[in-house]
Amino acid sequence: MAKGVLGNDPFKRGAASRPTEASTPGGEEKAAAAETVTKKQPGNGGMAAAKAGGKAASAKPRKHEARKTPAKAKGGKAAGGRKGAPAQRAKATAHAQPPHATRDAAHGPGDAALPLREPAASTLDTPAPGPVNDAGALTAKQRDVDHALAEALAADVAEATATAAVDAALGARPGPDAELERLMAAELATELAEAAVEEALEQGSPAQPQEQEQELAAAVAAQVADSAARAAMDEGRAPPAPPEAPAVTRWEQETSVRVVVTQEADTSAVEPEVELPDATRDEFPPGRRGPLSLVPPPAASAGESARESFAPEFGRGEPEGVRPLAERAVAALSLARDIAGQALASESLARAMLAMGGLKDMVRASLGTGGGANLDAYGKDPSLVERLEPVLEFLYSQYWRVSVQGVDHVPPGAAILVANHSGALPYDGLVMSMALTRERPDLREPRWLVEDQVFHAPMVGTLFNRLGAVRACPENALRLLDEHRPLVVFPEGYQALSKPFGERYRLKRFGRGGFVKLALRTGAPIVPVAIVGAEETSPLLGRIPASFLGLPFVPLTPLGPLPLPAKWSIRFGEPIGVEDLAPEAADDLGEVQRLTERTREAIQSMLQSLLRERRSVFAG
């Protein structure tokens, strides 16, 4: 930045440093000022420049070059016509160049590459001096017109730059990464366009006041000289890349990329200095005006477009870049995207991702932050069940390998499915409802009743409620049966969950026969169901007292809340009809007791036969 400060004002500070650096060109003929500059460039830039000059001549057909050439000619004439000031200006620009050339090895050529972009900047200037040269004086109106012209040009340039950058980036990088590339290119293009517009404004407005300050003609001449010098410089520097040896070319490209990066740095870091009049004009033009040269590239030479296409790539990969973090992040992102894309291609991983999402929702629901707007009056959240489907499906068919027998015994309409409750964690209701949904899609959606201790347990109760559990009470049961649903009940209740593992598959007392009363009142048949496997899924090893949680105890199970992969078997028995009994029989305790016992025995015998048939707890 020191350079920027040093060469800020071409008329003041620039002049001070002139004698030392620009003495040789200063002594030369004014009319040949432009050429001097061109030659000086080679001298400083080294062997590359000579070839570069030739190359520039050959590259002239390019649009901007063509536009520049007359400007240069005019500049030459103007410089010849006016003395003193033009000479100074020419010298100033001439002096402005050496610093670039004398930068470190990487930077010099970098600048040399960048001037390629200069012509556009000079095209901005040329329209302004053009008419002025003829008139010999610059009126306010003309200035306005010129300014407007410059601004319009700047807009054009910005637009063209953006499109060119995007085109280049996209054209060079087809394929799956196109989207990311488009993003990159867009970002780059925006930056370049911003720089271009800024450039144009600086060029237009701050320059004009100075002209007012200075002698008009001198300023005009200076500008002309400036543009001419820059055009020449451009010609001198522009083409070095292609004609050189391949190795040099690569080096060139690399450096150009590096300059792109530094240029970005400049735009961000130099910003405050830009406020200084012409701060960037002498010192930074190559870097700052760089983007403008992107205008021509549409028709540009291969070297330039290649450089352009390289720029984003290098910019991304450049570790010493100005924004290494951001660029690294982008690179990492694209890599991650690739990996993720390939991974998602495999279906199992996709399922795993879905399952993870479902589990996340499950945790949120159990914590009490799940939300949900489509719950039914009982609290079931169908959308959560849907999202958990991958998990449930895995548990049902792969982890527990649930086998279902006699599911045809379940009659359509209201039915009370009475099952043995088992295991320290009440997965059985969930599995029962899943079995019914899968095996008997003709039935209405089943619900299961859970005892208060589970229903009001923090997290567990909330989660089960969202999955379809309903608190066990006569009102809820009656309502569910009224809706002609199969209703799963576990008459053993909580005592079945708290029995030690040694008492597995031994039925406890069947409550007070509430399900029988329910059946008698509603006429719904009782279907005994035996479930084997749930006891081994979460065997109760011990009880941790947890009254502070509002629970009688927290069960101690091998894997905590996770189940073991025991194989499940569910057998549905013959329905026990109650049609021949009047609803008043519900008040007959003897009748209720008899039916309760009958159901209990049916379940116990099915359990025994299932256990006899089972050869292995985990293999089935």
Tokens matching residue 607: 């359990």
Rg (CA), the chain: 42
Between CA 34 and CA 44, with CA 38 as vertex, the angle to 5 degrees is: 135
Nearest Cα to 217, choosing from 136, 140, 143, 126?
136
- Which one among 470, 578, 592, 595 touches another protein, defined by CB under 8 A? 470
> Per CB under 8 A, does 433 bind another protein?
no
For the bound state, the minimum distance from the C-beta of residue 454 to another protein, rounded and expressed in Å, comes to: 12
For the bound state, the minimum distance from the C-beta of residue 383 to another protein, rounded and expressed in Å, comes to: 11
For the bound state, the minimum distance from the C-beta of residue 473 to another protein, rounded and expressed in Å, comes to: 5
For the bound state, the minimum distance from the C-beta of residue 498 to another protein, rounded and expressed in Å, comes to: 19
Residue 556 forms beta bridges with which residues?
Answer: 542
> In residues, how long is the chain?
620
- Which one among 479, 543, 594, 614 touches another protein, defined by CB under 8 A? 479
Amino acid identity at 294 = L
Contacts with another protein, 437-466, as mask; x by CB under 8 A: ---------------x--xxxxx-xx---x
> Per CB under 8 A, does 408 bind another protein?
no
In three state form, how does the secondary structure of 236-267 look? HHCCCCCCCCHHHHHHHHHHHHHHHHHHHHHH
Contacts with another protein, 332-371, as mask; x by CB under 8 A: ---------------------------------xxxxxxx
> Per CB under 8 A, does 584 bind another protein?
no
> Per CB under 8 A, does 545 bind another protein?
no
**Residues in region 89-128 near another protein by CB under 8 A:** none
- Which one among 347, 475, 579, 580 touches another protein, defined by CB under 8 A? 475
For the bound state, the minimum distance from the C-beta of residue 477 to another protein, rounded and expressed in Å, comes to: 9
Query: Is there a contact between 81 and 75 (Cβ–Cβ < 8 Å)?
Result: no
Identify which of residues 84 and 545 has a Cβ nearer to another protein in the complex: 545
d(CA 166, CA 172): 10
- Which one among 251, 378, 399, 553 touches another protein, defined by CB under 8 A? 378
131 in helix, strand or coil?
Answer: helix
For the bound state, the minimum distance from the C-beta of residue 429 to another protein, rounded and expressed in Å, comes to: 16
For the bound state, the minimum distance from the C-beta of residue 468 to another protein, rounded and expressed in Å, comes to: 12
d(CA 72, CA 74): 5
> Per CB under 8 A, does 522 bind another protein?
no
> Per CB under 8 A, does 69 bind another protein?
no
- CA–centroid distance for 428 within its chain: 41
Identify which of residues 542 and 550 has a Cβ nearer to another protein in the complex: 550
192 in helix, strand or coil?
Answer: helix
> Per CB under 8 A, does 476 bind another protein?
yes
> Per CB under 8 A, does 547 bind another protein?
no
Tokens matching residue 188: 């780059």
Residue 302, φ and ψ in degrees, nearest 5: -65, -40
3-state helix, strand, coil in the chain (%, to 5): 65, 5, 30
Calculate the CA dihedral of residues 137, 142, 144, 150 and round it to 10 degrees.
-100
Binding-site size for another protein (CB under 8 A) equals: 32
Q: Which residues bind another protein (CB under 8 A)?
A: 365-379, 452, 455-459, 461-462, 466, 470-471, 473, 475-476, 479, 548, 550
